[in-house]
Structure 1
Amino acid sequence: MFLPKYPDNPTPPPAHTHAPADAAPVRRTLPQISISPGAVAAVLVGGVVLTALLAAVAVTAISVAIAAVVLRSMLRDHHRR
């Protein structure tokens, strides 16, 4: 009779080999950034201008709303007479 051949070691070999990890990742330094005074001044002036424009839009919107309420009140009084 024929008997099947069995391996000497019944446990299978590992599916993957474990590679050793690097000790520590290399830390990269950030490049130096130089900010010129002109760039800072441009950002500040731009911020002031945009803030002034936003304030102007807000004041205009409020005055238009007040004018609309006054006109509506005047027209309502005119129609009642």
Structure 2
Amino acid sequence: MSSAGRSVAPYVGLGVGAVAAVLVVGVVLTALLATVAVTAVSVSIAALVLRSLLNGARTR
């Protein structure tokens, strides 16, 4: 018990909830960042393939 005679249990519960919320937000943001990175790589590969096909069609 604290010096005021109240239990600290509710504050511990609040701390656990805050940590869980921060972890969830971190996981979601990391997933979004990974999605953006994969999309950027896919678009760049598609652009390279398209450029290669167009250059091949011009030289023939």
TM-score, reference length from structure 1: 0.56
Q: Structure 1 or 2: larger helix share?
A: 2
- Kindly, what percent of the aligned residue pairs are identical? 69
Asked whether 1:56 is paired with 2:22, we answer no
Runs of 4+ in 1 over 4 A off after TM superposition: none
Q: 2 CA distance for matches of 1:67 and 1:73?
A: 10
Q: Higher relative contact order by CA 8 Å / sep ≥ 6: 1 or 2?
A: 2
Identify unmatched segments of 5+ residues in structure 2. Answer: 1-10
SS of corresponding position for 1:36: helix
Q: If the length of structure 2 is used for normalisation, what is the TM-score? A: 0.75
| Unmatched runs of 5 consecutive residues or more in structure 1 | 1-33
Q: CA RMSD in A?
A: 1.1
